[in-house]
Amino acid sequence: MQLIIVESPTKARTLSRFLGSNYRIEASMGHVRDLPKSTLGVDVDHDFTPSYIIPRDKTKQVNALKDAAAKADEVILATDPDREGEAIAFHVAAILREMDEKKAKKSKRKQPEIAGGFRRIVFHEITETAIKEALAHPRELDLRMVDAQQARRVLDRLVGYKLSPLLWKKLSKRWLSAGRVQSVAVRLIVEREREIRKFESKEYWTIAGLFALPGGGDISAVLVSKDGVKYERSLVFDLFDGKYTTAGSLLSDEASVKAVIADFASPYTVSAVDKKEIRRNPAAPYTTSTLQQDAGRRLYFSSKKTMQIAQKLYEEGYITYHRTDSVNISEKFIDEARSFITSEFGPLYVPKSPRRYKTKSKVAQEAHEAIRPTAASRRAEAIQEGDFNRDHMRLYDLIWKRAVASQMAEAVFDSTTIDITSSNGYQFETSGSVIKFDGFLKITGREAEETVIPDVSEGQQLSLKDSVPTQHFTSPPPRYTEASLIKTLEEKGIGRPSTYAPIMSTIVDRQYVTRDEKKLVPTELGFAVTDFLVQYFPNILDLPFTAHMEDDLDAIANGEKEWVPVIREFYTPFSESIEKTYTDAEKVKLLEEKIDEKCPVCGHDLVIRTGRFGKFIACTNFPECTYTRQYGEKADIKCPRCGGDIVIKQSRRGKKFYGCSNYPTCTFAAWKKEDIK
């Protein structure tokens, strides 16, 4: 009997569909060994040797694996095809090998029975073909990948267990945590909020001209320049520079607009008609980060929800592995997709040669694949069964459309730009486009409507019927959403696919950030922690430094660097900074917002404070007076259950809801205002 070990029961159940009775499939239930929670678990004086233990809640499962392995002729390690999966396989093998060696010693066997009898198989989709192909081509454990995972785990443990107690001491909050990537993420959010707060709105105007055509009808165009000097039609905010960019002069007030309109002079001539064909190619299939971004933007999913749903789709055999930086797809899928497209839409929708996408990321492994369906012809409607719900179908539909469309023909547009110039040098411009051939848009749909403009010819004279000025005001830079933050982290080389979802959850759970209508807003605690870390640990929050650390971890996985020197290079100055900060840094006093209310117990002022589970009202006479109550903004509604005030509260996950101010005496709560009846 051959024993196959995977991570989850769902994955085990899916594999069992394809394999016969000669195989027994067991789940490790994730990691079987880890660093201890109560201590550092890393020997910093002896090459950062980690002390792994079997967590108490994994003892039963580990014993089950041992029992199964003892009865097996061979153990096959089939955990996920990434560093975490390789590490799980390594630790399972280590536990089973240790067990077998002990048995061999007791029975005086010369050779342990299963020691060395491990095979490692990897697959990127859970289909019968992929599983049998993997079984036919096993390999050894990749110790370079194991080292890279171990280096990340040790690095994060050193930062977390050394820096977090320092934050507890200096900010007097014992739930605080710090991390290489999560702290950088909070810093980005904090810096964006400061840009928003100091932003000064500017007034600007645009002018549209409505021109009559000689044969009837009219055409609208926007003023763009005077004697070649451009007017700004919009101000574009640069996400990285943190400022609005302008390329020309600004119509900044109504008086200047009226002066320009008064200066318009006939005749108006069509000075240019630029007609051209535009071809647009489909996007590459999804990587982890682009899937999280699109699912957030289109489906309003959090990154955590996206990954949970993708995990289910992968383990049930519907999509390929969902943690990947690669946009590569298999030749098998390309052939399937091209065949499906031809049969569904006709040969015109298939390009002459297959589309192959090159991964820009220097860390992606081309042997891995992008996220794609395991069957090109399986639409979302085909997975309405079992434990799947509407959200599973919506995410699958997103993945299916993107992957199949990536192998379709380009979309072709007829684009026309028309310039209209006055006799004294004012130039107006209008443009439009018409889809000539929809190509891949047949599947993905059209994001914008066609803009059809009248047919005019160069040299034709028009008359100005009306001038329409419009007032605008510049808006502050946008707050980050999970999608835009993940995009920024990826572009700056911070973090990796498996880290983004837990980071988003952690920064909210730690009260560094709240969610306000999908936007990420830093709390005062987030500001305070960020400022403290920037002052005393600038490297930890330095974006290039953090990106460099990620590159080092990738170099370890590629066999280009050893993990111990990489950790030592980081830890030596980091440890010195820790010791110095304990001595030099003053305690940080968080700002407390007073409310116009006295303590009902002792009569002192009440203030808003931040605790482990969010904001709360507390007495300034603490610790002499321990009066507290839940915090919430009044919503001007009475509780339908007890008649108390309804207040707007925030859940532990950062989501706002309506609750009774008399909690815990009254537990009424509702997510939406209209549900309060």
Cα separation of 233 and 627, whole Å?
56
The vertex-481 CA angle with 477 and 483, nearest 5°, equals 120
Say if strands 426-437 and 118-120 run parallel, antiparallel, or are unpaired. unpaired
Amino acid at 504: M
Q: State how far the alpha carbon of 472 is from the alpha carbons of 104, 231, 317, in Å.
A: 81, 14, 51
Distance CA 305, CA 391 (A): 9
Single out the residue of 651, 632, 650, 639 nearest to residue 675, CA to CA: 639
Strands, E assignment, 110-247: 118-120, 203-212, 218-226, 229-230, 236-238, 243-245
- Going by C-alpha positions, the residue among 496, 383, 475, 399 that lies closest to residue 443 is 399
Which are the catalytic amino acids? 321
Dist. CA 633–CA 618, nearest whole Å: 15
The secondary element (H helix, E strand) that includes residue 49 is strand 49-50
Cis peptide before 623 (omega within 30 of 0): yes
The rounded distance, in Å, linking the Cα atoms of 118 and 114 is 7
Judge whether 181 and 499 are in contact, CB under 8 Å: yes
Question: Which of 549, 552, 550 shows the shortest CA–CA distance to 562?
Answer: 552
Rounded Cα distance between 594 and 596, Å, is: 7
Which tokens go with 599? 């303590």
Look-up: residue for tokens 């980690």?
50
Q: Which residue has the tokens 């999804």?
A: 286
